[in-house]
Amino acid sequence: MKPKKYIIKKGKIYWPSKEMKKIAWVSNEKIYEIASRNPVKFWEEKAKEGIKWEELWKKTYEEKLPYFEWFKDGKLNFCVNCLDRHLDKGSKTALIWIPEPTKEKPIKLNYAELYDKVNRFANVLKKQGIKKGDVVAIYLPILPETLIAMLACTRIGAIHSVVFSAFSADALKARIQDGKAKLLITADGYYRRGKEENLLEKAIKATEKTTVKKIIVVSRLRKKKRGGKFLDFQKEIEKAYSYCKPEIMNSEDIMFILYTSGTTGKPKGIVHDTGGYAVQAYWTTKWNFNLHEDDIMWCTADIGWITGHTYAFYGPLLNGSTTLIYEGAPDFPNPGRWWKIIDENKVTVFYTAPTAIRMFMKVGDKWLKKYKLNSLRILGTVGEPIDEDTWMWYFKKIGKGRCPIIDTWWQTETGGTSINVLPGIGPFIPTVAGKSFPGTKHIVVDEKGKKVKEGKGGFLVQVPPFAPGMLHGVYNNHKKYVETYWRYWTKFKKRYYNTSDGAYVKNGLIRVTGRTDDVMKVAGHRLATAELENAINDSKYVNESAVVPIPDKIKGQVPVAFVVLERGEPSINLEKELKKHVDKKIGPTARPSKIYFVNDLPKTRSGKIMRRILKNLLNNEEPKGLMTLVNPEAVERIKEVLKENST
C-alpha cells in the first residue's frame, strides 16, 4: 500500500492534507481562540479529560509571582496515570528497547509487565528507606531499567534527579550534593560505538563523602558481583513483592528535579511538580504528534535531558501508546542504524534534533537507500533553531515529502513543548516554530518589556496564565529563580516569564532565533560559558580563561577557549591536558574544540571580560568598542595568536 500523503504544498509553505485533517485530534484552528478566551478553564477541562485524579482540586490556578500553582489540592499519582489506568489492555506493548550491539535482541515490555517491575522496584526503594519527598539520583543510560526506576520513584512520591550518563564523576557529585540525594541508581556500564563504557567507576567516585549511602546497580555488562553498599537491580526486583500501593500526591508536590545550565558556573536544579507537568506532558504529546494508541513513538533524546523525560518516557505512556528507545550511537555499526530501527519497528512518530539530522546529511544519502521509512507519519525537531537546508533534507529524505515537521520550541524549564504548530492545523514552514500551544501565550518584547512590532526582533517571554508544565522554582535557590526568570517582574512589574531566547513574529507565527544570554547550544546540549570557564580555571595551570561559541556545521555551536596561563608553557600537550581536565570536570560534551593561549584577556575597567570582542576576532571581524577596554593592547596580541594558529 502506498503511504498516505499527510501534507500538501501551497505556495511556499506546507499545509495538512485532507488525510491528515481526518486523523488529527485537532484540525480546527478555532481551538486557539477558544483556549485563549479562558485559558484557565481550557486547562481545567483538559486536566479532567486527560489525567486520572484521586481528588479534584479546589483552585485551578493561583498566581503569586514569582510562583504560581496549578490544580491546587488536587490529588493524583503520576505512575498510576502512566500504568495502572492502562492495565485493561495490559498486553499492549509499552516499551521497545533496542540495544546497541546488533547481536543482542530488543526487549519489549507490555503494560502489565512494566507495571509488575515498577511495583517491585518501588518496594525495593521503600526497603532502602526511601520515602515521599526524598531525592533519588539516577545515573543511567537508555535502558528499560531507567524507565522502571523513574516510574518507581513517582509511585512512592520520591523525587528523581536524573543525571546524563556522559557527565563526569565531578558533575554527578555536584548534582548529588545539591539535591542531597539519599540513593543512587546506576549501571555497571553500557555500550557506545561498540565499546564498553564504564559507568560504575564514575558513580563510585561521585558518591564518596556524600549523602548517598546505597548504590543500586543495573548489571548491563554482566560484570562481577558486588556486596556492601551495592545492591543488584535485577536481584532486588526478583525478591520484592509485586504490588506497591501508590502514594497519593498533591498536584503541587515535586515530582522531579533536572539540572540545567544557566549563566553562572553552577547548574540549577529545575523543579517540576506532579499534576501540572502531567497535564502538559499528556496533551502536548497527544496533540503535537497526533498520538493514538496504535502509534509507536521514537524520541531519540537521552534521558539525561528534559526531552527524554517528557517525550521518550512519560508522554507516550500517559497516552497509553508505545515508546521506542535505543541505547546506542546513531551511526553504529553504520549510519543506517536509525533508519533500520524505524523500518523494523514501524515507527510512526519520530522526534529528534537538528544536530543529528545534520550529521546524517553529511554522511550522505547512500545510507538511506535500503530503507523505506514508510511507517512514518509525523516528524519532530527540537533543541536549537533548525536551518532551512536541514529542514528540507529531513522533510524530503526522511519524511519523503509526506510528513509534517513539527518544530517544537521549549526548555527544561517549560516541562513540555511551548511553541509549535499542530499537525492537523499547520502551516509547516522551515525555520518557523509557530504558535504558542493552545491555552498559552508568548510575546516578543524589548529590554524593558515593551511589546515590539511584528517582524522586529526582541526577547521572547511567556505571559500569564503560565503553562501548567512550567517550572516551580530552582531547587533550594529562590534567589537564582527570581534573577533568571523574573527580571521583567522585579524591574518593570510586568508579569512575564523570561525565556532568555530571541525571537520575532511574522504573520502571527513565532520564529525563535537563539539564546540571548551566555548559554550555548553544543549539539543541542545546553552549556553555560561560565560553567566551562570555571572548569578550565580550576586547572592548576590556568590563571584565567574566557569561552566563546563558534558556529559548527554539525554541532551548531562549539566552545573555543582563550586561556591565560599561571604556569607551564603553551604547547599541544598542555592543550590536550586542559581538554582532559574539562572532560573530568563536566564531560566530553563540553570539551573546547580549540584552546588559544594568550597573555591577557580584553577587559572593561570594572574587570569584566569582553567575550563579544573575542567572538569578533574569531570571526575575522573588526571589534568595536575597544575604547571601553582597560587593556586594548590585549586585542592586538590575541590577533597575532589567532594568526599563528591559522597557519
With residue 133 as reference, give the H or E element that holds it. Answer: none
Query: Which residues lie across from 445 on neighbouring strands?
Result: 451, 459
Which of 236, 407 has the CB closer to ligand WT7? Answer: 407
User: Peptide bond before 330: cis, by omega within 30 degrees of 0?
Assistant: no
State the nearest-atom distance from the C-beta of 503 to ligand WT7, in Å.
9
Give the separation between CA 6 and CA 77, rounded to whole angstroms: 37
State the nearest-atom distance from the C-beta of 288 to ligand WT7, in Å.
12
- Cell 540571548, residue? 516
Which of 200, 299 has the CB closer to ligand WT7? Answer: 299
State the nearest-atom distance from the C-beta of 8 to ligand WT7, in Å.
23
Cα pseudo-dihedral 366, 372, 375, 377, rounded to 10:
50
State the nearest-atom distance from the C-beta of 411 to ligand WT7, in Å.
4
Which of 138, 635 has the CB closer to ligand WT7? Answer: 138
Cα pseudo-dihedral 587, 590, 596, 597, rounded to 10:
-40
CB atoms under 10 Å from CB of 645, counted, come to 11
Query: Which residues lie across from 547 on neighbouring strands?
Result: 561
Which of 291, 306 has the CB closer to ligand WT7? Answer: 306
Which of 261, 274 has the CB closer to ligand WT7? Answer: 261
State the nearest-atom distance from the C-beta of 113 to ligand WT7, in Å.
29
State the nearest-atom distance from the C-beta of 272 to ligand WT7, in Å.
12
Is the distance from CB of 14 to CB of 426 less than 8 angstroms? yes
State the nearest-atom distance from the C-beta of 305 to ligand WT7, in Å.
6
Q: Read out DSSP for 495-508? A: --EEEEEEEEEETT
- 222: burial class by Cβ within 10 Å (0-12, 13-18, 19+)? exposed
CA 192 to each of CA 185, 195, 199, 408, 523: distance values in angstroms, whole numbers, following the listed order = 20, 5, 12, 28, 17
Which of 121, 259 has the CB closer to ligand WT7? Answer: 259
Give the separation between CA 510 and CA 44, rounded to whole angstroms: 26
For ligand WT7, the binding residues (CB under 6 A) are 260, 305-307, 382-385, 407-412, 433, 499, 501, 512, 514-515, 521, 526
Is the distance from CB of 92 to CB of 111 less than 8 angstroms? yes
Nearest alpha carbon to residue 409 among 474, 467, 360: 467
State the nearest-atom distance from the C-beta of 413 to ligand WT7, in Å.
7
Nearest alpha carbon to residue 278 among 306, 312, 318, 323: 318
State the nearest-atom distance from the C-beta of 234 to ligand WT7, in Å.
32
183-187 vs 214-218, strand pairing mode? parallel
Which of 220, 472 has the CB closer to ligand WT7? Answer: 472
Report the alpha-carbon angle 577-581-587, nearest 5. Answer: 130
State the nearest-atom distance from the C-beta of 386 to ligand WT7, in Å.
7
DSSP E strand boundaries for 204-307:
214-218, 230-232, 249-250, 254-260, 268-273, 296-299
CB atoms under 10 Å from CB of 227, counted, come to 7
Which of 308, 335 has the CB closer to ligand WT7? Answer: 308
Give residue number: closest CB to ligand WT7: 412
- Cell 592548576, residue? 540
State the nearest-atom distance from the C-beta of 163 to ligand WT7, in Å.
14
Give the separation between CA 477 and CA 269, rounded to whole angstroms: 9
State the nearest-atom distance from the C-beta of 588 to ligand WT7, in Å.
17
Which of 148, 325 has the CB closer to ligand WT7? Answer: 325
Which of 185, 433 has the CB closer to ligand WT7? Answer: 433
Query: Which residues lie across from 511 on neighbouring strands?
Result: 504
Which of 260, 288 has the CB closer to ligand WT7? Answer: 260
Which of 51, 406 has the CB closer to ligand WT7? Answer: 406
